[in-house]
Chain A
Amino acid sequence: MNAYVGTPTSRIDGRAKVTGAAKYAGEFAADGLLHGFVVEATIARGRIARLDTSEALKVKGVIDVLTHEHRPPLADKDEAWKDEVAPEKGSPFRPLYDDRIKFNGQPIALVVAEDWETARFAATRVRVEYEQEAFATDLESERGKAAEVDQPHKPRGDAAAALTHAAIRHEADYVLPSEHHNPMELYATTAVWDGNGGLTVYDKTQGVQNVQKFLCSVFGKKPDEIRVISPYVGGAFGSGLRPQHQVVLATLAALALKRSVRVVLTRQQMYGLGFRPLTIERVALGAKPDGTLDAVTHEAIAVTSRFEDFSRNDTGWAEQLYKSPNSRYSHKLVRLDVSTPSDMRAPGAATGVCALECAMDELAVALKLDPVELRLRCYSDRDQSEGLPYTSKQLRECYARGAEAFGWSRRSPAPRSMRDGKELVGWGMATGVWEALQMPVAARIVLTANGHAEVSCAASDIGTGTYTIVAQVAADALGLPIENISVRLADSSLPQAPVEGGSWMAASSAHAVLGAAEEIRRELARYAKAMPASPLAGVDVPDIILLDGAVAKAADRSRSVSIADAMRHGQVERIEKEKLNEFPEDKSHARNTHSAVFAEVKVDEELGVIRVTRVVSAVAAGRILNTKTGRSQIMGSVVWGIGMALHEETVTDHRFGRIMNANIAEYHIPVNADVRDIDVIFVDEPDDRINQLGIKGLGEIGIVGVPAAIANAVYHATGKRIRRFPITLDKLLE
């Protein structure tokens, strides 16, 4: 049955991607296509007093300049602007809606021209006068205004008292900076006008149906008037969960001008989209001398915009990881004159677990305990918030396998005790945790008598490998070679799917495919059994499988009928089945993925230069559908974790309320030289409770824990504890 699932199957879209045949949103052609260029606000807060487009309109080739004063109607209720990922509380941003400036870099006009260069040139001719208002963009100076938001985790016991009486206590602030996603592909939309008021919108997004519903409600369109397609996405990492400015602007312009319009944001303009919010994480741990915990408290103070409350679970992760009779968690927000933050790979966990795992390392030092041993002593077999056991939790095995592969037993515990020539060597580790979520997704399979199947679903493949795993699951379930499976994704007219995010799409889409394939199996079994002198006569349908292009008895595969014969006798050319996935209702178990991350750094102490020479990531995430794309996901996550630890930071000049490193020359992410050996270990984690295939998802877990493991390694190398990320060399030299 499993010819493909669990194997390192190469991407079925790999060839299209490397040859350039794969088309991205900004690459679709249309007759008479116009190009839009966005004009952005240059103040952080206030109103547009005057917007003069006359000079821009005089530029040859300019068709129009859309502004809040000159545009087609837009919905005026917040509800219409709330996409499926919008924060519950707040009023979503509306591009070109009115004269209000809510953040620096806000789009305030769209210049539309015959070609992109003309639009960009004319954009410099749009004159704007503002009435500026006092603004604030600095979390640390506004920290006193933080307001608590609802958190799912209730306090247990009396954490404050337990901390006071704890034999060993560690308490510290960890500061995780704002970060931007910087996917390789720029945000782009090509809105193709159909001549009758309808649009086909090619958009870079993580959810075509989310964008489609959003556009229909914002522009008052019927569902059949707008179709959204996004066949390939060049990275998104959460930045494409919500519909972005460019899709509103391209659609607005297409409807205004009754022409096809493309809008591509520049790299710099993408810093006006969502971001991982700067968060101050205050963690306090109280322990007994034996290394068991008495109390955990974790408070996060994060940035949000003035108009939406964005928050994620930064603080509750100790509930899953470490046994403690007392705990308290709180999440606070400071509203600032910035765009609304957004999900970024492992939102909440990447930052919150980083703080928790640095704090655990500091506690291990205080207790004179090995960091792995401390985690084993605090190991929790239950999610303490609801007292639930896990569907599976092989975290102990992650520690063991990771430590063995890394050579952890050879670690000398004292800081500054390991050297390699001029360099100090540091070994650090941390735990990772994420949720194993599953969402309603439907898939359609059309099987034709020639043994070819087309699988379709509105889900996106944001580079993660969804095309490939869908094909693998379908090939196994239908008993066909993977070459006979074609996959269509990310078209809003296909069967339903939510945004691709939260690591839920692998399990969700796989089980939709499995469900549809099961219906096909039943139908084929019926046809096969009904054939004259059928070799399957008398075999019960549940005992019949699909294998090697045939319908066969599971226990005796020589008793089989080819799919083509079965369908001919059933007098059908094609079998089409669409199925919404079904997961057993189970509120009695917690569902999580886990990891243990081990990192080696080498530090030239005199010059402060840090090299991450080795990372071992041992991941327990249920069944790994594809060990090749899965490994790539974890490796990419580890690279990003290196960036979180050492490089990434969006820097704002709070006098102007402007981001000052809005480009990838100055906003540093790791380059090849920063990435050395990465060893990915998938720990066996059979899980027949979570879902039929035992899938948990891999999108987020790989980054969680990596920055802490590196920070802890830097401490072990140097004896210096840097709690303000990223760990740049000036902090080490201080």
Chain B
Amino acid sequence: MNNFQYSRASDVADAIRLLAADPGAKLIAGGTNLIDLMKENVERPSRLIDISRLPLREVEETPDGGLRIGALVPNSDLAYHPLIEQRYPLLASAILAGASAQLRNMASVGGNLMQRTRCSYFYDTTTPCNKRSPGTGCSAMDGLNRNHAILGTSNSCIATNPSDMSVALAALGALVHIAGPSGLRTIALTDFHRLPEDKPHLDTNLGSGEIITAIELPPHGFARNYSYLKIRDRLSYAFALVSVAAALELEGNAIGEARLALGGVAHKPWRSLGAEAALRGQAATPDHFGRAADLLLQGATARSHNGFKIELARRAVVRTLMQATSATPQSQAHKKIA
């Protein structure tokens, strides 16, 4: 672990000022990922700016009928918030599919968006990794890549984003509210994380000196026909090999609006508007779901150990859409897959 300075931000503006004053500084809220990375000497912040006491813990209804979630709301509080449980159960389910109760109690919503990849080479400072040390190469490309990305990869990185919550947020069309030196801005969650391209050290489009202040959920929560299915190497407390967030609007068996996002397969939650468009107006049948899955997985490429993910993702998409259709969402407590 590196030696670091510690500051406590008095308000959001103070956090932004402190960030601007020290390019090596990092924000810390729950610290569930950052402190691990510091112990591994992967992250070496010169300063930790503690934002955990900032007043960003509210869940408020927005004028248009959506919700605004403060960036510091703990993951578990959000998952069990009555408005989330009632109106956005897909989000609650995805959060509860992730980590452990202890981690969810500590982790903040904003921090969840900022968690870094679990690529084992990224974690091991003795191996080359473009994400950790730009220009050193990617060890996973021809190494142990069973857990790695099949979509949106580049020649410099095949890491995945490990968040479950983000997958649901992507499907729900969430927005991210950001404050920074040049004021406030809002971007779609699907534009918040980026693909690795030739700059895999950048996980997100958050600018320097910027801070997430809130997540906004649009009014439509898909509370009736949804499911979050996470496939992993044990039945709980493991990162996704593949996860699927599915949400449908059904009239009889006809699909109105459809949302579909994948986790564990790319550098960001993977959503395809084309796949969703292909579902609209169709009957909710396994065939149509399979076609949507094929569209969603278009361009998927396998490395030496992760080829199974392509077929697994396809099957998981179909199953999750079936669960959503029958309004029998995957339980995160009972591990039998519906």
Contacts and interface: CB of A to CB of B under 8 A. Distances in A.
Interface string B122-142: 011011000000000001000
B1 interface: yes
A665 B335 CA distance: 19
Contact of A660 (B40, B144, B235, B241): B144
Interface stretch (B7-15, B174-182, B254-262, B311-319): B311-319
A117 B231 CA distance: 38
B236 interface: yes
A602 B64 CA distance: 46
Interface string A111-132: 0000001001100100000000
B235 A653 contact: no
A674 B234 contact: yes
A653 B235 CA distance: 26
Q: Name, among A606, A671, A730, A734, the residue most crowded by chain B CB atoms within 10 Å (CB to CB).
A: A730
A647 B233 CA distance: 7
A422 interface: yes
B23 interface: no
A729 B120 contact: no
B308 A653 contact: no
A422 B311 contact: no
Contacts of B233: 647, 668, 728-729
B234 A673 contact: yes
B41 interface: yes
Interface in A706-734: 728-730, 733-734
Contacts of B82: none
Given A607-B316, A658-B126, A647 B335 contact: no
A42 B2 CA distance: 19
A733 B336 contact: no
A668 B234 contact: yes
B308 A730 contact: yes
A671 B102 CA distance: 14
Contacts of A423: 336
A604 B322 CA distance: 15
Contacts of A728: 233
Contact of B1 (A117, A611, A656, A661): A117
A602 B337 CA distance: 11
Nearest to B237: A671
A671 B127 contact: no
B337 A604 contact: yes
B81 interface: no
A42 B125 CA distance: 10
A22 interface: no
A645 B315 CA distance: 24
A646 B336 contact: no
Contacts of B5: none
Interface in B204-249: 231, 233-239, 241
Nearest to B335: A673
A360 to B, nearest CB: 28
A608 B120 CA distance: 24
Contact of A611 (B41, B118, B241, B335): B335
A609 B234 CA distance: 9
A651 interface: yes
B143 interface: yes
B319 A124 contact: no
Interface string B21-47: 000000000000000000111000000
A602 B236 CA distance: 16
B270 interface: no
A611 B235 CA distance: 8
A607 B120 contact: no
B297 to A, nearest CB: 15
Given A42-B126, A604-B337, A666-B120, A609 B231 contact: yes
Contacts of A608: 231, 312
B312 A658 contact: no
Contacts of A658: 124, 126-127
A121 B3 contact: yes
B146 to A, nearest CB: 7
Contacts of A120: 1
Nearest to B338: A422
A730 to B, nearest CB: 4
Given A607-B315, A660-B144, A734-B308, A124 B127 contact: no
A647 B234 contact: yes
Nearest to B40: A268
A661 to B, nearest CB: 6
Nearest to A665: B118
A646 B239 CA distance: 16
Contacts of A409: none
B312 A656 contact: no
B312 A646 contact: no
A671 B2 contact: no
Interface string B308-338: 1001100110010000000000000001110
A655 interface: yes
A90 interface: no
Contact of B2 (A121, A604, A607, A674): A121
B1 A673 contact: no
A159 B174 CA distance: 68
A19 interface: no
A658 to B, nearest CB: 7
Contact of B144 (A42, A422, A651): A651
A647 B236 CA distance: 12
Contact of B143 (A655, A663, A673, A730): A655
B289 interface: no
Given A608-B312, A609-B231, A668-B233, A653 B335 contact: no
Contacts of B231: 607-609, 729
A233 to B, nearest CB: 25
Contacts of B315: 606-607
A670 interface: yes
B126 A656 contact: yes
B88 interface: no
A730 B307 CA distance: 9
Contacts of A666: 118, 120
Interface string A594-634: 00000000101011110100000000000000000000000
Contacts of B3: 121
B234 A124 contact: no
Nearest to B318: A606
Nearest to B127: A656
A141 interface: no
Given A124-B1, A422-B337, A653-B139, A660 B120 contact: yes
B146 A730 contact: yes
A124 B41 contact: yes
Contact of A672 (B143, B236, B239): B236
B233 to A, nearest CB: 5
A160 to B, nearest CB: 37
Nearest to B231: A607
A673 B236 contact: yes
Nearest to B235: A673
Given A609-B337, A655-B143, A670 B234 contact: yes
Contact of B236 (A121, A674, A729, A733): A674
A93 B231 CA distance: 42
Contacts of A268: 40
Interface of B: 1-3, 39-41, 118, 120-121, 123-124, 126-127, 139, 143-144, 146, 231, 233-239, 241, 308, 311-312, 315-316, 319, 335-337
Given A656-B127, A658-B127, A673-B234, 15 more contacts: A42-B126, A117-B1, A120-B1, A422-B337, A423-B336, A607-B312, A608-B231, A665-B118, A666-B118, A668-B234, A674-B236, A728-B233, A729-B231, A729-B308, A729-B312
24 contacts: A120-B1, A121-B1, A121-B2, A606-B315, A607-B337, A609-B235, A611-B235, A656-B126, A656-B139, A660-B143, A660-B144, A661-B120, A663-B123, A668-B233, A671-B234, A673-B234, A673-B335, A729-B241, A729-B308, A730-B146, A730-B241, A730-B308, A733-B308, A733-B311
The 5 closest A-B pairs by CB, nearest first: A673-B236, A673-B235, A730-B308, A42-B126, A660-B120
